[in-house]
Each structure stands twice: as C-alpha cells, then as structure tokens.
Amino acid sequence: MATHATATATEEPLVAVEGLSVDFDTPRGTIQALRDIDLTVPKGKVLGIVGESGCGKSTLAYSLIGLLAENARVAGGAIRMGEHDLARLGAAGWRDLRGTRVAMIFQDPMTALNPVTTIGQQMLDIQYRDRISRSEKRARAVEFLEQVQIPDAASKLDAYPHQLSGGMRQRVCIAMALLTQPDLLIADEPTTALDATLEMQIVALLRELQQKFGCSVVFVSHHLGTVAELCDDVAVMYAGEVVERGSARSLFHDPQHPYTQALLDCDPARIKIATRTLPTIPGTLPDLRQPPRGCAFRARCPHAWGRCEREHPPLYPGAAGQRVRCHLSDPAEDAA
Ligand SMILES: Nc1ncnc2c1ncn2[C@@H]1O[C@H](COP(=O)(O)OP(=O)(O)OP(=O)(O)O)[C@@H](O)[C@H]1O
C-alpha cells in the first residue's frame, strides 16, 4: 500500500481540534459521543479518520461543518480555524463559512443533491455568491464537471440526479464541493455506496483534485486500504476518543495501539490466508452513556493489566512519531 509523506510538526494547521467533547441527549441518557478529542488538520494535506461503527467518526466530521443533530451538545473544547471557533459558531457564522471555506461530500450523494432540480441548476445555485453572469457560471459548472472527469460534461447540466449512475452522482457532488473552493473538504465515507472499482477511481480523483486545489481534506472511512492510499495523516478513533494518531506511514507500518493493531489484523486486504469469514475484534464497544473509567479498550485488549482499569491513558509519544493512548507506550513502563 502506498502512503504519502506526512506533515511536519512545525507546519501550521488549518484546523486545530482542542479537547472537543460532544454529547447527545437521549431519553435513555446522555451519550458521550466525542470525549476530549485533540487533533489537527494540516494545511493542504489529507487526514483520515478510521474506527469501528459507532466510535464517533461522523460526529467529528459533522462537528467540523456545524451539522450536528439537534440533540447534540458541545460539552467542551474548541475547533479553531483561523479566527473562528467552529464548535461555537452560530447559524449566521456558518452561513458565511459553509459552502465557502468548509464543504462536505456525503456518503450518499442523493443526500446532497436535490432530486427534482437539474444538475446544472444546482451548480448555478451553489455559485450564488459569485458576481459573474449566468453564462459564466454555466461555463464554470461545465469546467468543474470536466475536472471530475464526467464525460460529455455540458450535456449533464440538463440531467436530473436519478439519470446518473451512483459513481457519476458522487463526482457531481465532488465538483459542487470544489466549485466553492473550500479550504477544508470533509468526506464522510464517500465511497461506501460504490463498488470496489468505482471506489478506487473516486479515491484517485480525490487525491488528484486535492493536490490541484491545495485544500485540506478530512476523509472518514472504514476502509483501511483506502485510507492508506489517500491520507497523509490518520487518527484512529475508539469509543469517542482518538487512541492513536500520526502519519499514515507510521500507523500502517508500525501501529502501536492494540486497537490499531487489531483493526489492521481484520483488514481484508492484509489477510493472506483465504477464510470464509472475516475476523472481527472480539467484544463490543463500551456503553457511551457510561464510558469505562480507565482505558476504554481494556475489555477487548489482549494486553490489559491492572493499570488499564485504574488509569485513563493520556496520548503518549509513540516509537514512530505518532501519539498513542495506551499505557504500553508510557516510557515509564519501559524504565520500570
Ligand atoms: N443524533 C444522535 N442521537 C443519539 N445518539 C447518536 C446520534 N448520532 C450518533 N449517536 C451515537 O453517537 C455515537 C457515535 O456515532 P457516530 O455516528 O459518530 O459513529 P461512527 O463512527 O460515524 O459510526 P458509523 O461508521 O456507523 O457511521 C454512537 O453511539 C451513536 O449511536
């Protein structure tokens, strides 16, 4: 698997997530979906967010674009982007930033596209801030459809979303997101609804366009192979926390957290022996209404010992420059 060079530690990030906690209020109690998240999105780089279903990836992605559900509450922390704190931006603030500095590609392109409006009209509408003529906007729409390699782009302006294939619809969504020339593009599992060939094409396209436009990308995925292919940096999430983060190279070649190691062991691309069933990590996620006191992964961890139950691990520096939320990475354990 190819991995790309990582951001240097001195590079100023586009976005800094600092101690972010997000709760969901439900009739059955408060779900602590994000707990004290610290990470940075480097300028002009791709950050991958991986982890099992329910670990908080989408909540983090939606926090970055101010689209959290109504029952969500920012319980602490900040999301710094320039002079803004995205975690506390009101509706008026988001009207200025969303679709200009921050854009999103969704899992299902039909979520983003209006089914009863032509592609062309939607691409004109999204340029409502631009003081250029209608024909110039149309020309830009065609140009961006060509950028995402849609054949015979001009003719697609008159098409409705249902007249395009799933892969083409996702390309239209990418074109629309890039039309707004965002600094930050959030892609929440954008290839999940596509088959493997289309997935590879969309990933290659995203990488090419990200390099061309120079924006930062946050790429949420279950698929480790895709993340290794596309991302410069990776954050691994478990039970609402970041348990390991660092360069894609360090995480895929020298994973330190037992959860990252277990995820990689379950990755179909890495399994050499043909088996009928894919391995899974034994056990289940803890109840996020009452997250465990010590290490959140300890009940499923083959290495857990007494300290893991007593003490919540901080992010220790890992051997290959990553940060690891595991007492095994505590330098004091080596010294003991
Ligand atoms: N609106 C909501 N109300 C209550 N709980 C929610 C809400 N949205 C998400 N959750 C809960 O928050 C936790 C994190 O969910 P989230 O969707 O962020 O995880 P995820 O890693 O993106 O999962 P998936 O890969 O399945 O999308 C889960 O326990 C989920 O059930």
Q: Could you tell me the strand order of the sheet in which 72-81 lies?
A: 29-42, 13-26, 72-81, 84-85
Nearest CA to ligand 1 atom 1: 69
Query: What is the whole-number distance in angstroms between the Cα of residue 5 and the centre of ligand 1?
Result: 31
Helices vs. strands in the chain: H and E counts, helices first: 13, 12
303 φ/ψ angles, rounded to the nearest 5 degrees: -105, 0
Q: Which residue has the higher pLDDT, 57 or 191?
A: 57
pLDDT tens digits along 107-129: 888 888 999 999 999 999 999 88
pLDDT band at 6 (very low <50, low <70, confident <90, very high): very low
pLDDT digit string, tens, across residues 228-275: 889 999 999 999 999 999 999 999 999 999 999 999 988 766 645 455
Does the structure show a pLDDT above 50 at 335?
yes
Lowest mean pLDDT across 6-10, 69-73, 112-116, 281-285:
6-10
Residue 223: pLDDT band (50, 70, 90) is confident
pLDDT at 11 over 80: no
Query: Complex ipTM above 0.95?
Result: yes
Q: Is the pLDDT of residue 103 over 80?
A: yes
Kindly give, in sequence order, each residue whose CB lies less than 8 Å from that of residue 86, ignoring residues fewer than 6 positions away: 15, 63, 64, 66, 79, 80, 97, 102
Residue ranges lining ligand 1, Cβ < 6 Å: 24, 26, 31, 33, 51, 53-59, 69, 71, 288
Q: What pLDDT does 282 receive?
A: 81
- 292-317 burial, b at 16+ Cβ within 10 Å, e below that, comes to eebbbbbebbeebeeebeeebbebbe
Place of tokens 């200009």: 100
Which domains can be identified in the chain, with CATH numbers? 15-101+185-197+213-329 (3.40.50.300), 111-181 (no CATH)
Which two three-digit tokens encode residue 46? 């791709």
223 Cα: distance to centroid of ligand 1 (angstroms): 18
For residue 68, the ligand 1 atom closest to its alpha carbon is 1
Residue 7 CA to residue 41 CA, distance in Å, equals: 10
Computed over every residue of the chain, the mean pLDDT equals 90
Say whether pLDDT at 303 is over 50: yes
Q: What is the mean pLDDT of residues 77-102?
A: 92
**pTM (2 d.p.):** 0.91
Are the C-beta atoms of 14 and 43 separated by less than 8 Å?
Answer: yes
Retrieve residue 8's tokens: 């240097």
Supply φ then ψ for residue 88, to 5 degrees: -125, 15
CA of 180 relative to ligand 1 center, distance in Å = 28
For 55-59, 115-119, 129-133, which range has the lowest pLDDT when averaged over its residues?
129-133
Name every residue whose Cβ is closer than 8 Å to that of residue 276 and which is 6 or more positions away in sequence.
none
Whether residue 278 is predicted with pLDDT greater than 60 in this model: the reply is: no
Pocket test for ligand 1, best of 28, 32, 49, 59 (most atoms within 8 A of CB): 59
Averaged pLDDT, 89-94: 91
